[in-house]
Structure 1
C-alpha cells in the first residue's frame, strides 16, 4: 500500500464492509485483526463474528483443513476477543476438541464435519465435552460423518449416534444428520428400534434405509415437527414390522421425499403418507416409479396430492414414471402430458416422453424448472434443453443414435458437468464432422471443461470416437475414462491413430473392461495415464 494512490483507510466503512463480506469470516479475522483501531472495530462487528467456519471449504464431500499456524492464532489471540459474539461454529474433527474447550455463551448452532464413525459414537455420549458445555444451549446441529474405507460401520452405528443426540441436546430444534453427503449415512429402525423422543424438534434432515423408517420417525415422537427432509434408499413393503401410516400430521408444514431407487409402491405407500399431511404448505418429491399402467402426469398429481392439501402453495418435483407398452395403441405424446399441467399456475413444468420399442417400455420424466438437483439421468434425444447449472452428473441413454449436434447441446446445457455415463449401442448416422449443421448453427469442437469421469462401458464405437477424436471433442486434462478394451482398440486403430492421440494423452487414468494384462504398446499410447 506504500505507493498506492488510494489507501485502504481512504474507503468508507460501507465500502470496506461490502468488500470484506466477499471473503470468508475466518480470512477476514485472521488477516486484519490487530492491524489498526478502525479495522479492529469493523471486523468485530457481528457480520464477521456471529458465524465462524474454521475450515477452508466443503465441496463434493471434501474438506480443506486450516493450518496449525492459523488454528493456533485463532485459539490464542482471536477467539478470546470474540467468543462471546459467536453464535454459529462450523468445525472439523481434528480441531474440534481444542476449539470447543472454550466457553461460547451465545452459541446456539454447531456444525461438526469430517467425523469418523468411532469418534462420533464416542462424542455423542453423556460423558463428553458436548454434554458438559452445550446440553441446553444448542438449538441447531449439523453432523457430517466422513467416508473412511479403513473403518467398518453398520447402519446401526448411525442409528446409535442419531438417537444419542436427543439425550445430549435436550432443546434441539433443528438437526441435519449427514443429509448433504455424497456418501450418505443411512438410519435403520427395523430391528428393536430404540426409544427416543423430542418435543422441541422443529426441523429434521435425514437419510433412512427404508421408507418405513421414514414413517417410524412420524409416529409422534417428534410431535412438534414442522419440516422433514428425508432421503430414503428404497421404498418397498416391510416384512419386519408394521407401522402406523394413517394418523394425521397436522403440524407438518414442509416435506421433501427423495429416492433414487425405482418403486412400485407409489399408490400403496407414498400417497397414504402424503394424505396424512393436511396442512402442508411446501412439498418436494423426487421419485422413480414403475409398475403402473399410466404415467404420473399433472392430472394424477392434482387428484391424488394437491386436492388433499388445501394449504399447499409450493409444489416442486422430479418424477420419472415407467410403463410397459404391452401392445398399447393410444400412446400419450409429450404435448398430451404437458397439457395436464395447465392448472399448475405457479410452476414451470417440463415434461419429456420416450417410447423404447426394443425394450417395450415407455418413460415420462416431469420436473419443476429451474432444476435444482446435482444429477440428471437417462437423457434421450428428446431432451428438452435448458441450462442446468447445479447438475454435476448425467447419464445418456437411447435406442436411437446420438449425433454430434446432440453432444453439443449437452455440453451447453450442463456447463459444470463432472461425470458423464453413456449407454447406446446404435451407430451414428452421420459420422462426418461438420462445422455447421442443417440449420446453419455453428457447431465448433465440443468442450467439457469440468468433466473428470467419463463412462463409455456400454457405448458403440462411434461414441468412443466422438469423445477421443480431437476434431470433434476437446477433453480436459486429468480425465478418468472407463471403456471396453476391444472397442478402444478398434477406435484407436490398434493404438496407432494420431487423431485420437491428443485426447488420449490427456487421460489421468484409464479403466479397461475385459483386459487383464496390458500390452506395452497400450502403455506407450497412454504415456501419462494410470491404466487400471
Structure 2
C-alpha cells in the first residue's frame, strides 16, 4: 500500500484529479485524508468537499447510514477539518443529528434529508437549540425525502405538519424538493389550508400532491416569487371547494404537471390553470385524459395551450387521451394525428392511435421524442419502435395477438427493461415455434438482460409459453413472476416439461393466483424459488 501511494504521489495534479473524480467524495476523503501534505491539499479541493453524501443510497431508492467505523472517522476527524468548505450535505435520518452537531458549518446552504421518520421531525424542527436556531437563516436549498425504505412510518396527517414546519423554520428558503421516492408514502394534502405556509423567498418547488386542489392552493399567491413548480398529483378531479383558478401567475417560468391516474376534467381544471401562466418558458405535461369527444392532438395544443404562452420555447409531453367511439365511421388515423404536428416547433413528436372494438374505446398516445420517462404504458401492435434508454417499466396491451416478432421489437426498443406486464387474452396466430433447438433455427430467442419482474396474470396461455419456453425466450436469473397457477401447470405439463425447466429454474420468486395443492415433485422443478 505504501508503494502504491508513492506511485500515486508521483502523478501530476491534473492526472490525480482525473483519477479521484472517478470515486465518490466520501471514498476520496475517507481513504486518503492524512496520507501526506500534497494529497491533503488536493482532496481538500472544493471538488471533493463542497457536496458530501454521508449515507448509502441503493438503486431501489432505499437509504442507509454509513457503517460505524466510517461515520466515526468522519465525525471525529474529517468533518472538523473541512467544515468550512462544505456547502451541501445529504444525510440519512438515523445519523443526521450526530453529523449536524459534530461541528459548525458556516457555509452550509443546502441540505438533503432522507428516510425521514416521525420521530426525527422533533429532532429536526422542534428543538431550536440543536437545529433550527443554527440553520434558520442559513439554509437556502432543502430536499426532504420521506421514503422510509418501503415502510409507511409517516402518517398522512403528519405530511402537512412537516411542510408547515419547513416554512416556519427556514425563513430564507429558495429551493424545496418535498416528496418521496416510495409510492407507499402519503402525499401532501391540506385539509385546512394553513396561513403559515407562505414565503416571499421561495423560487423553486417540487412536491407530490394528493389532489389538484392542493396545486391551486400553492398557486394562490402565497409564494409570490415562485418561478419553477414541479407537481406530481395523485388525483385530478373536480372539488366542491371554491378555489381561485383565474388569477395570473406572471412570475412562473417553468411548470411540470404529472398524474398517473385517469383525468376526466382536463378542459375544466387543467386548461384554466395553464392559461394563467402567460410568461411560461418551459412546460412539461404527463397526463392520462379521459371522457373527451376528441383526441388531444397538435391542433388542440396550439389553440388551448401554446397560443396562451407567447414566450414558450420548450414543450415536452407524454399524453394519452381516450374517447368512446361507439358507432362512429370517420375515425382519425395515426397519419391524421401526425399531420396536426406538421408545423410543431417543439422537439420530434411521435403519435400512436389505437381503437379497441370490444370496449369501443379509442386511444391516442402523443409524446416528445426522445422519451424521458421511466415507464411506458399501453403499448400495442401499432408501436412504431425506437430506442428508449430511460424506460424501466412497460405495459403491453391489445385486443389483437402479440406475435414473436413483436416481442423481439420490444426487447430491442427497451434495452434496460426491468418490469414487464402483459395484458392480452387473444391467442397467438403463429403457432410455429421450436420445441427443440434443432427445429426452425430462424426463430430468434429473445433476451431481456435486466428483467427482474414479469407479470403474466392477465394473459392467454400462449404468452406463458412465449416467456417460459427456452426455444423462444431466455430469461435472466432472479426474476419475480406473477402468474395463474392453473395455466402454468398446464404449460409446464404438471411441472415436468423440459422446454420450460430452464427458465423456471431462473425464477427467484413466484406469486401464484388460483393456487391449488402442489404435486409432490413440484419442489424439484423450483429448487431455488420462493413460492408466494
Interval containing the TM-score (normalised by the shorter chain): over 0.9
User: Contact conserved, 1:184 with 1:207, CA < 8 A, in 2?
Assistant: no
What is the CA–CA distance in structure 1 between the aligned matches of 2:264 and 2:108, rounded to whole Å? 46
Note the C-alpha offset of 1:63: 1.9
For structure 1, which runs of at least 5 residues remain unmatched after alignment? none
What is the CA–CA distance in structure 2 between the aligned matches of 1:174 and 1:128, rounded to whole Å? 24
Deviations 1:382-440 (A, max 9, x none): 112111111111111001111111111111111111111110001111122379xxxx9
* Corresponding position: 1:141 with 2:142: yes
Superposed counterparts of 1:364-443, under 5 Å: 364-433=364-433
Q: Which runs of 4+ in 1 moved over 4 A?
A: 1-6, 148-153, 179-184, 440-443
Superposed counterparts of 1:62-101, under 5 Å: 62-101=62-101
Note the C-alpha offset of 1:32: 1.0
What is the CA–CA distance in structure 2 between the aligned matches of 1:249 and 1:448, rounded to whole Å? 47
User: Contact conserved, 2:168 with 2:196, CA < 8 A, in 1?
Assistant: no
Note the C-alpha offset of 1:441: 12
Aligned to 2:472: 472
Superposed counterparts of 1:321-360, under 5 Å: 321-360=321-360
User: Contact conserved, 1:61 with 1:182, CA < 8 A, in 2?
Assistant: no
What is the CA–CA distance in structure 1 between the aligned matches of 2:122 and 2:409, rounded to whole Å? 48
SS where residue 170 of structure 1 aligns? Answer: coil
Aligned to 1:523: 523
Aligned to 2:293: 293
For the structure 1 residues 354 and 206, does the alpha-carbon distance in structure 2 shift closer, same or farther, using more than 3 Å as the test? Answer: same
348-357 or 150-159, larger mean C-alpha shift: 150-159
What is the CA–CA distance in structure 2 between the aligned matches of 1:150 and 1:415, rounded to whole Å? 31
* Corresponding position: 1:53 with 2:53: yes
User: Contact conserved, 2:115 with 2:146, CA < 8 A, in 1?
Assistant: yes
What is the CA–CA distance in structure 1 between the aligned matches of 2:64 and 2:16, rounded to whole Å? 27
Aligned to 1:500: 500
279-288 or 341-350, larger mean C-alpha shift: 341-350
What is the CA–CA distance in structure 1 between the aligned matches of 2:333 and 2:129, rounded to whole Å? 61
TM-score (norm 1): 0.95
Note the C-alpha offset of 1:448: 1.2
User: Contact conserved, 1:387 with 1:414, CA < 8 A, in 2?
Assistant: yes
Aligned to 1:12: 12
Note the C-alpha offset of 1:515: 1.4
For structure 2, which runs of at least 5 residues remain unmatched after alignment? none
TM-score (norm 2): 0.95
What is the CA–CA distance in structure 1 between the aligned matches of 2:180 and 2:63, rounded to whole Å? 16
Note the C-alpha offset of 1:181: 4.3
Aligned to 1:178: 179
User: Contact conserved, 1:147 with 1:183, CA < 8 A, in 2?
Assistant: no
Aligned to 1:460: 460
SS where residue 263 of structure 2 aligns? Answer: coil
Note the C-alpha offset of 1:144: 1.0
What is the CA–CA distance in structure 1 between the aligned matches of 2:28 and 2:151, rounded to whole Å? 37
What is the CA–CA distance in structure 1 between the aligned matches of 2:332 and 2:26, rounded to whole Å? 56
* Corresponding position: 1:223 with 2:229: no
SS where residue 100 of structure 1 aligns? Answer: helix
Deviations 1:294-332 (A, max 9, x none): 100011111100000001110000000011111111111
For the structure 1 residues 151 and 118, does the alpha-carbon distance in structure 2 shift closer, same or farther, using more than 3 Å as the test? Answer: farther
User: Contact conserved, 2:154 with 2:185, CA < 8 A, in 1?
Assistant: no
What is the CA–CA distance in structure 1 between the aligned matches of 2:450 and 2:494, rounded to whole Å? 29
What is the CA–CA distance in structure 2 between the aligned matches of 1:151 and 1:263, rounded to whole Å? 27
What is the CA–CA distance in structure 1 between the aligned matches of 2:504 and 2:441, rounded to whole Å? 28
Aligned to 2:107: 106
For the structure 1 residues 77 and 378, does the alpha-carbon distance in structure 2 shift closer, same or farther, using more than 3 Å as the test? Answer: same
For the structure 1 residues 140 and 273, does the alpha-carbon distance in structure 2 shift closer, same or farther, using more than 3 Å as the test? Answer: same
What is the CA–CA distance in structure 1 between the aligned matches of 2:181 and 2:151, rounded to whole Å? 22
What is the CA–CA distance in structure 2 between the aligned matches of 1:3 and 1:103, rounded to whole Å? 37
For the structure 1 residues 86 and 160, does the alpha-carbon distance in structure 2 shift closer, same or farther, using more than 3 Å as the test? Answer: same
User: Contact conserved, 2:387 with 2:413, CA < 8 A, in 1?
Assistant: yes
Aligned to 1:130: 131
Note the C-alpha offset of 1:156: 2.2
SS where residue 260 of structure 1 aligns? Answer: strand
SS where residue 457 of structure 1 aligns? Answer: strand
What is the CA–CA distance in structure 2 between the aligned matches of 1:4 and 1:208, rounded to whole Å? 53
Note the C-alpha offset of 1:186: 0.7
Superposed counterparts of 1:508-519, under 5 Å: 508-515=508-515, 517-519=517-519
SS where residue 166 of structure 1 aligns? Answer: helix
What is the CA–CA distance in structure 1 between the aligned matches of 2:82 and 2:443, rounded to whole Å? 56
User: Contact conserved, 2:152 with 2:184, CA < 8 A, in 1?
Assistant: no
User: Contact conserved, 1:117 with 1:145, CA < 8 A, in 2?
Assistant: no
Note the C-alpha offset of 1:147: 3.3
SS where residue 509 of structure 1 aligns? Answer: strand
Note the C-alpha offset of 1:17: 0.7
User: Contact conserved, 1:481 with 1:507, CA < 8 A, in 2?
Assistant: yes
Deviations 1:200-259 (A, max 9, x none): 0000000111001100111111011010000000110113x2110000000000000000
User: Contact conserved, 2:231 with 2:256, CA < 8 A, in 1?
Assistant: yes
SS where residue 105 of structure 1 aligns? Answer: coil
Deviations 1:20-69 (A, max 9, x none): 11211011111111112211111100011000111233422212432110
Aligned to 1:195: 196
Aligned to 1:238: 239
Aligned to 1:165: 166
SS where residue 528 of structure 1 aligns? Answer: coil
SS where residue 59 of structure 1 aligns? Answer: coil
For the structure 1 residues 211 and 33, does the alpha-carbon distance in structure 2 shift closer, same or farther, using more than 3 Å as the test? Answer: same
The CA RMSD measured in Å over matched residues stands at 2.1
For the structure 1 residues 77 and 336, does the alpha-carbon distance in structure 2 shift closer, same or farther, using more than 3 Å as the test? Answer: same
What is the CA–CA distance in structure 1 between the aligned matches of 2:14 and 2:153, rounded to whole Å? 52
SS where residue 246 of structure 2 aligns? Answer: coil
